[in-house]
Each structure stands twice: as C-alpha cells, then as structure tokens.
Amino acid sequence: MKKLFAVLVSCITIGGVCAQSNIVTGGGDAASSTGSVSYSIGQIDFQYTSSADYSISEGVQQAYSFDTALSIDDIQYDFQLSIWPNPSADEMNIEFTTSYELPLSLIVTDVNGAVVAMRSVTQGQYYFDVNTWASGTYYVSLSDGEEVGIIKPIIINR
C-alpha cells in the first residue's frame, strides 16, 4: 500500500511540474525609454493576447543576467579632421589637430577592412597619392593603437 501511495504521489507531482522548453535559433533583449522586451527567433509556439492599447505574444522567456560595470573609462577624443578633395581622382590631403597624445596612426582601409595606407602621424597636413587606388569608397581613421578615435569616408572617383 505504501508503495502504491508513493507511486501515485510521484505521478501527481511530476505531472504538475511545468517548465519552459523550446528550440530557437536565437534571441535577446531590446529596451527603450518606453519599455523592454525579451525575444526569441525561430519560436514555433506562443500565446497571443491583445486589446485596444497593446498586443502581447507570450512564449519562451529568455534567461536574463545582470552585468555590473566595475569602472568607466572617461576617454575623450578631441580631433579635428579635414579631408579634401573628396571625392578625389588623383590626390588627397588630410589635415588634423588633436589634444591627444601623439603620434597616432592614420589608417586608410577599403570597404572590406583591408589596410590600403597607414602612417604614423602628428598634427598637421598629409598628402596621399591615390592614383594607384581603385575607384570606390575608403575610410580614414585615427587610432592610438588600442581604440579608433574617428572614422571618415572618402571616395575615389575616376
């Protein structure tokens, strides 16, 4: 009798346990000043609720974690960067001033991120011969070796 009672209690307890389970392809959290939401991509089952003021599609809840910043780096870049002519066909002038520690790296990359030109620079004006560069869009950036401080597009047009 005790064995039958234990089996019966186990079946009732296990039958009453509910948990979320679903296979999804992705998900995340989104937030704005008016609210926040967790979402799943690829979810196949949900419950829909709506009224005149709102609509909710309930489904699998995303796990939530709290990240606490231990410190905040107060990095302030003070760059003035001028590029001319832009668009260009054969030459490009770059002039910049900064209050940041010098020298910096001036890097020109193509749209795929490949480095086309790189120079160690201090404040002033620099000339680039772009005759050998293919027509297209390039990006000029200034970097201290760890962080990129400014990025501007340039166009080579022939």
> What tens digit of pLDDT does each residue of 54-67 get?
666 666 555 545 45
pTM over 0.95: no
Residue 117 placed within a domain: yes
Residue 7 placed within a domain: no
Looking at residue 11, its amino acid is C
Q: Which two tokens stand for residue 109?
A: 């990359």
Instruction: Clarify whether residues 55 and 86 are in a common domain.
Output: no
The CATH number that applies at residue 109 is 2.60.40.10
Distance CA 128, CA 84 (A): 11
> How crowded is residue 155: how many other Cβ atoms within 10 Å of its Cβ?
13
> What tens digit of pLDDT does each residue of 105-148 get?
899 999 888 999 999 988 889 999 999 999 999 999 888 877 77
Instruction: Clarify whether residues 112 and 148 are in a common domain.
Output: yes
